[in-house]
Amino acid sequence: MYSASINYSIGAFLIILFSGCVLNLLKHHYIYQLAGIAFLHIFLVIKTANLLYNNANMSLYELYFSIMPVLAGISACLISMFLGFWIFPLLRKKIKD
């Protein structure tokens, strides 16, 4: 179960990171990335509450592996936002010229 969760988390991270890098080509990329982070955060809260409601005896280890894909998505959004502020402005200038 846990290796599948790790593989799924890595896949989610890479897909969201790639999508975020494509969004970085837009001028106002941060609006969409903040909306994605907010959505994933709300999804994380609802998923955590649902998991704990259905299984009150869940260990912290099980909870962590259950929410790891959402945490990977939030991390990918933040990394792509960082890249959008520091690296992609140079690429946008080169594309314009």
* Domain residue limits at 6: 2-96
Domain count for the chain: 1
Structure tokens at 23: 């969004």
Cα distance between residue 32 and residue 20, in whole Å: 9
- Residues of the chain above pLDDT 70, percent: 97
**Whole-structure pTM value:** 0.85
* pLDDT above 70 for 97: no
Q: Comparing 95 with 8, which gets the higher pLDDT? A: 8
| Contact in structure between 80 and 21 (CB atoms under 8 Å) | yes
13 pLDDT tier (thresholds 50, 70, 90): very high
